[in-house]
Amino acid sequence: MLKKYMLSMLTASSMLLAAHVGDLTSVKTIKIDRDMSTLATSCVECHAKTSPGHVNDWRESRHGHVGVSCLDCHVVKKDNPMAGQNCDGIKGTDVYVSILVSPKTCAKCHPNEVKEFQNSGHARAALQVKAKDSMQKMMYHYEGRDHPTLKEAPSATGCIQCHGAIIEVKDGRPTAETWPNYGIGNVYPDGGIGNCKSCHSGHKFSIEESRKPAACGSCHLGPDHPDKEIYDNSMHGHIFNTEGNTWKYDSAPDAWEPGDYRAPTCATCHMSGIGSLKSTHNVSKRLRWNIWAPISKHRDGGYETAAHEYMKTGKATKGNALAGNIKGSDAARSEMKQVCKSCHVSTHTENFFKMADKHVELYNTFAHDAKKMVDELKAKGLMKKDIWADEAFNTWYHLWHHEGRRMRQGALMGAPDYAHWHGVFEVQQDIRKLQGIYDKRMKTGKIED
């Protein structure tokens, strides 16, 4: 009797479903015609021979699947400062292309992402380097030795590969000193700022790739900001390194949620949409502190103004060092806590940030004391003219730029070895060393040999 009732209910359900979906035996075939132009097809055919890696990546990409071709990204107007006709297939025609693809091109389809990026700390990466005389002198004078033909090498192989460059073009091609690079803050001749392929490598532009820690780890590593190593030292990194290769990374934006992963990656905390939070390309938006600076302050300064000033004036300025969150540091922390609470109970989240903030504030006490000593030595003429040969300056620089950053970043990302042994332990050693140099110089009025 029960079986007969269940069969009748199943039949009724099937009839109801059929009433909603229609006759499944006569489903129409829908054809979407996204054929590429003859010229676009010839570009693909030619580059399949000359640069097959590019074409293979493009074929595997979403762009390739929906018929976004080489021309859609690389064709520019004749008067574009990046325009050229270096490809044999277009010489003598009215078609001009650029080997460079500016964010202005990406913004045609992805305007929100580009706008969010331009309000982030990433957008000022190249401009800040260009605007700082100390950075210019370090790269070209101290490291490049003012060599007439070799001084550009440290910048081209190192700094701009992460920070980006103000790219120069000659005869339709970018110069070797400024390109190729994967720097996040590139400034293009057409005024575009940013570099989407820093995280979504061309020509595949994979969302999965950008969600894994390696996307950030190519720049955020090393003695001054070892964020990839810090992540690996955290419990989040431990879980990722155990099973992260099995997680789901191809969910749509704002749909990548816990369950697709068991622990967050860099993108999860800083960019992804979780719950009511929307995804963002402003990586500064959820940050309360400017923990890269000599002395940390809350990020209450509005937009990252360096990029905005460049777009207005064409000049590289230092911008607003505290910028990055247009709603203020409390709103930033609230959003980050919302990310944490998608996996952790409130007590866990509140206690974590309470003690992490105290560690940042503790660092500031060291930094204030150290800076006071350095400033006094400078004021009394007790600092060498060549600051990189001065032990006092070097000790101060390492205290904030290396050990101090590790101390703060380790605390805020849950990495005990970096908060302590690579952090505060070394900071307290630095200030003792600096104190000894300060006391001796102030007592003798001389700089030691």
**Is residue 49 domain-resident?**
no
Residue 319: pLDDT over 90: no
Residue 146: pLDDT over 90: yes
Q: Which residues of 260-270 are buried (b: 16+ CB within 10 A; e: fewer)?
A: ebebbbbbbbb
Convert the pLDDT of each residue in 278-315 to its tens digit: 999 999 999 999 999 999 999 987 666 667 777 777 77
Convert the pLDDT of each residue in 393-419 to its tens digit: 999 999 999 999 999 999 999 999 999
Show the 3-state SS of 334-395. HHHHHHHCCCCCHHHHHHHHHHHHHHHHHHHHHHHHHHHHHHHHHHCCCCCCCHHHCHHHHH
Query: Which of 9-23, 24-38, 150-164 has the least mean pLDDT?
Result: 9-23
Q: Which residues neighbour 145 within 8 Å (Cβ) at sequence distance 6 or greater?
A: 151
Q: What average pLDDT does this structure show over 139-143? A: 96
Which of 46, 76, 99 is where one domain is finished? 99
SS3 97: strand
**Is residue 396 domain-resident?**
yes
> How many domains does the chain divide into?
2
Residue 235: pLDDT over 80: yes
Convert the pLDDT of each residue in 74-97 to its tens digit: 999 999 999 999 888 898 899 999
Residue 20: pLDDT over 60: no
The pair phi, psi for residue 414, each rounded to 5°, is 70, 40
Convert the pLDDT of each residue in 187-204 to its tens digit: 999 999 999 999 999 999
Nearest to 335 by CA among 275, 409, 411, 254: 275
pLDDT grade for 10, boundaries at 50, 70 and 90? very low
Q: What average pLDDT does this structure show over 385-394? A: 96
**Measured CA distances, 159 to 138, 154, 286, 305, 397 (Å):** 11, 7, 26, 21, 18
Domain that holds residue 85: 65-99
Measured at the alpha carbon of residue 67, what is the angle toward residues 117 and 278, in degrees to the nearest 5? Answer: 30
**Is residue 115 domain-resident?**
no
Q: Which residue has the tokens 């974590």?
A: 352
Which of 99, 122, 154 is where one domain is finished? 99
Convert the pLDDT of each residue in 60-77 to its tens digit: 999 999 989 999 999 999
Q: What average pLDDT does this structure show over 236-248? A: 98
Q: Which residues neighbour 84 within 8 Å (Cβ) at sequence distance 6 or greater?
A: 96, 97, 98, 99, 171, 172, 173
**Is residue 403 domain-resident?**
yes
Distance CA 373, CA 399 (A): 13
Distance CA 447, CA 178 (A): 40
Written as six digits, the tokens of 364 are 């500031």
Distance CA 59, CA 204 (A): 8
**Is residue 95 domain-resident?**
yes
Q: Which residues neighbour 31 within 8 Å (Cβ) at sequence distance 6 or greater?
A: none
**Is residue 384 domain-resident?**
yes
**Is residue 388 domain-resident?**
yes
pLDDT grade for 320, boundaries at 50, 70 and 90? low
pLDDT averaged over every residue in the chain: 89
pLDDT value, residue 37: 87
Our measurement of the distance from residue 426's CA atom to the centroid of its chain's CA atoms, rounded to an integer in Å, reads 27
Convert the pLDDT of each residue in 413-445 to its tens digit: 999 999 999 999 999 999 999 999 999 999 999
pTM: 0.87
The pair phi, psi for residue 140, each rounded to 5°, is -95, -30
Do 368 and 293 contact (CB within 8 A), yes or no? no
**Is residue 383 domain-resident?**
yes
pLDDT value, residue 323: 54
Which of 74, 99, 124 is where one domain is finished? 99
Residue 182: pLDDT over 90: yes
Distance CA 246, CA 266 (A): 17
pLDDT grade for 15, boundaries at 50, 70 and 90? very low
